Amino acid sequence: MSDFYQTETISTLHRLNRNNVSQLESELEEFCDTRPIALVLPCLYSELKRKALKDILKKLKDVKYLNEIVITLGRASEDEFRHAQEYFSILPQNYKIIWDDGERMTSVFNLLKENRLHAGDPGKGRAAWIAYGYVLAGEKSEVIALHDCDILTYSRELLARLCYPVANPNMDYEFCKGYYSRVTDRMFGRVTRLFISPVVRALKKIFGHLPFLEYLDSFRYPLAGEFSMRTDLVRVNRIPADWGLEVGSLAEVFRNVSLKRVCQVDLADNYDHKHQEVSPDDQKGGLLKMCADISQSLFRTLSSEGVVFSDNIFNTLLVTYLKIAQDTIKMYEDDAAINSLFFDRHDEGLAVETFAKGIRIASHQFLEDPLGSPLIPNWSRVTSAIPDILDQLKDAVEKDNA
């Protein structure tokens, strides 16, 4: 039976018809006259050598409704940037590459620092943020869609379904989050399955049904890297520069948008991309680092809503989380069994222990410094401090691409 379940908080747009891609694309071509769409692709140079990005570009070549494509290229030398220009030249759409490590972009980031505006360290958060700025500078698009460049199961349907709810003026959503299942011969999505959902439900047990926790628990895949939004929202949203990007972005949407204008959309039967190592002893990488960053973002957001944290609260959270997460492992083990999937209970248990360690690290860091690393400021504040910053950004990108 098809799933058409709705939560109380946000709209869920299901994938009940798997044969309407052509119709969606045809309608999007009509919508783009009044709501032109920009696609943002945060990309590392190393991804140019992988199959996933090559396949994505082949699919994008046939997409006619995109007004522009903005690629932020990171960790690239000058020769590698020139190679990237040739690599992306197969795209028939209007596109630009933001050379994140280039001299001109470095000057832009230095100007921000001089004005005490922290754009964060190099990473997906900063890459997305600077691309948003370029789209705002061009004033050519009304909708921004973003997805990763390592999707192994990419399709035109995924992009069309991601753009449709925000581009369609009859729906008029301001923000749309993608969701999907990550299954091969086993279940992936460990951070969502074994960390985000259990920790949010543990917090609900401790603090009750807070609106933000209900909202966050309504998303089927809160860590999905695919979303679309109106450009007006880009101007007012701040974002974290670390692994807290997805949860922090959802928190900003919660603050700035009526929940009636927020939705999630089913993008695909299955989704596969690069998998992170658990790395239970590496506080600077892997799922331990990811969990700690996400936890801090969650704690800061709840604190800003008036929630008071203490050592005792964090101890209770840790015990409650572990109990819920361990019960969740049993649920997924049974789910895997009825679907004849491989399931490694020890590996799942190790992941939960790593996430518990991440919560403990984040709680100590939060109590020492509740503010933590500053969020990347929204573009409204940046243009207020440096009125011509968007012109300077546009000029830097145009000259690099000349």
- Helix ranges (DSSP H) in 305-344: 311-338
Nearest to 114 by CA among 371, 368, 344, 389: 389
Residues 69 and 91: beta-carbon distance below 8 Å = yes
Burial of 80 (0-12, 13-18, 19+ CB in 10 A): middle
Residues 130 and 140: beta-carbon distance below 8 Å = no
Tokens of 197: 């959902």
What amino acid is encoded at 307 in this protein? V
Domain extents in the chain? 11-396
Q: Return the residue matching tokens 């061009």.
A: 138
Identify the sign of the CA torsion 186, 190, 194, 197.
Answer: negative
Which run of H or of E encompasses 197? helix 197-207
285 HSE (CA, 13 A, CB side) = 5
Residues 190 and 351: beta-carbon distance below 8 Å = yes
Q: Distance between CA 376 and CA 113 in Å, rounded?
A: 12
What amino acid is encoded at 317 in this protein? L
pLDDT in tens, the chain (402 residues): 468 889 889 999 999 998 999 999 999 999 999 999 999 999 999 999 999 999 999 999 999 999 999 999 999 999 999 999 999 999 999 999 999 999 999 999 999 999 999 898 899 999 999 999 999 999 999 999 999 999 999 999 999 999 999 999 999 899 999 999 888 889 999 999 999 999 999 999 999 989 999 999 999 999 999 999 999 999 999 988 777 789 999 999 999 999 999 999 999 888 876 655 666 666 666 789 899 999 999 999 999 999 999 999 999 999 999 999 999 999 999 999 999 999 999 999 999 999 999 999 999 999 999 988 788 999 999 999 999 999 999 999 999 998
Give the number of other Cβ atoms within 10 Å of residue 141's Cβ.
22
Which run of H or of E encompasses 228? strand 227-230
User: pTM of the full predicted structure?
Assistant: 0.94
Give the number of other Cβ atoms within 10 Å of residue 184's Cβ.
12
Q: Distance between CA 166 and CA 174 in Å, rounded?
A: 6
What's the CATH architecture for 11-396?
Alpha-Beta Complex (3.90)
| Dihedral angle over CA of 34, 13, 146, 134, nearest 10 | 30
